[in-house]
Every structure is written in C-alpha cells, then in structure tokens.
Amino acid sequence: MSGIEYRKFITAKEPLRSLVKKIKSRSGRNSSGRITVRHQSRGARKQYRLVDFKQITKRDARVEAIEYDPYRTGFIARVIYDTGERAYVLAPQNLKVGDPIAAFKEGAGLKNGYRSQLKEIPAGTFVYNVELNPGEGGKLARSAGTAIKIVAREGGYVSLQLPSGEIRKVLETCSASMGFVSNPERKMVVWGKAGRMRHKGVRPTVRGTAMNPVDHPHGGGEGRQPRGLKRSKNFWGKGVRGVKTRRRKNRSNVFILERRK
C-alpha cells in the first residue's frame, strides 16, 4: 500500500494556523551538540499540531475535518464546539465529517469517539487515549490502530489489557475515549525507498558487524565474520536481547497485574 492510499480519509490539506506551532529539530543532539540518539535527522519541515488529549469540556462538538499529523501515526480530527471554538483531538476509526463528539456528557452512551471516565464504561469495551492519572491527559493507546480493553473493575480501580498483553490497573476516575485509533492501514504501508525515510527524519543504520572493533562490540574480523560474542550488544556494549530495562523498584510496579509476554 502506498502513502497516497492510506491517506484517502483526509479531508483537509492544511492545518488551522491557530492550532499549530513550530518545534525546533535537534536531530538527536543534546545541548552540547553531541549525538545522544543515533539515526535521527531533521527530515522534512513540519509543524506540531496542538492536540487536546484531555478534552475537559461538557460542550457539544462536531467534526469539521479529518487531518494528517506528521508527529503521530493516527489521524486527527478538527472539531468545532457550539461556542465556535476549535480544537484538535485524536480521530477514532470510522469517524466522518459532521459526526458529533461529546466529552463527559451524561447519557451520551457508548458512541465512537465519545470520552468519559472509566467507571462509566462497561467491561469489554475498547478504549484509546487513556489517562494514567486523572486530569493529566491521555497517555496510553494513542498510535494508529491501537486500543485498550477494559477487563474488570474493583476497589476504585479498573483493570486494562494493553496491546502488548500487559494487564495493569488505573484509577476509575481516569478518562478514556471509546473506539480504536484511526489509520490501522499504516502498518501495511511500503515505504519503497530510502529517500522517504530521510524525509521522515531517519538516517541510515550501519550494522555493527560491518564496523571496526573500536567502533562497535561486534566489529572486526576478516571479511564477513560472525560477531564473536556469546550475546549481542548495542553500540554502548549493553545487552539487547532478553535484558530487562525496567527498574526493579519502579513505583508503578504495584499497578501491573500481569507483565507483557
């Protein structure tokens, strides 16, 4: 699938100027100019869309346009409230121009894209843009085609099954939007050539076995040689396969009921 095909749902070509801002690209460099994140470049120039992940409002709104966001994989929807104010929100699947969108509205029901507190959403429902702490905005399930399943509710907490298979609990006063994030076809896109990845801000990646010993733990040898180490390592000599990177004393470990597979 080409990039043109999966963008056929977009209805607006240009973003609203009042809802964008420019973010300076640092190409993976820190304040000293040293590269701390490899394989990053500036890429094509783009503007950051000010997406509202909280939607703390009780006003009625309708969808004015479906737009592309270069900073995220899913589409965004430009909504207009009954007061005339406009905002960007994450667009769920099957959302169309003219559809209503409500947040924290009593009796709104389980409609696509509607936002509510988790305690008001029954078990078995799929949600996206889920908060970890009440009022701080959605943090979970924001990429294209993803959703979280509500498994159970007990003792003021709601158990959520994440796309990774992890089951964790969050406060039932956290909010979430109902449905799946839009643009599930993105995973089928064939980028086709290196130039498209450079436009996305991705620089070339060189294999460690093709380097010299001074440059990478896998480097060295005559011709095409295996890495010569029992376990694979990254550029800095740290293990990369089967190595746990999560802190053992992380405070949020108590909320994880089942770790991801």
**All domains of the chain in start order, with CATH:** 3-186 (2.30.30.30), 208-261 (4.10.950.10)
**CA pair distance 142, 241, nearest whole angstrom:** 26
Q: Tell me the pTM.
A: 0.86
Per-residue pLDDT of the chain (261 residues; tens, 9 = 90+): 655 566 778 888 888 899 999 998 899 999 999 999 999 999 999 999 999 998 887 678 899 999 999 999 999 999 998 888 899 999 999 989 988 888 877 767 788 888 899 998 999 999 999 999 998 999 999 999 999 999 999 889 999 999 999 999 999 999 999 999 999 988 888 889 999 999 999 999 999 999 999 999 999 999 898 988 899 999 999 998 888 888 889 988 899 988 887
Residue 178: how many other CB atoms lie within 10 Å: 22
**CA pair distance 147, 177, nearest whole angstrom:** 10
Length of the chain: 261
> What backbone phi and psi angles, to 5 degrees, belong to 202?
-110, 120
Tokens of 199: 């436009």
**CA pair distance 222, 239, nearest whole angstrom:** 24
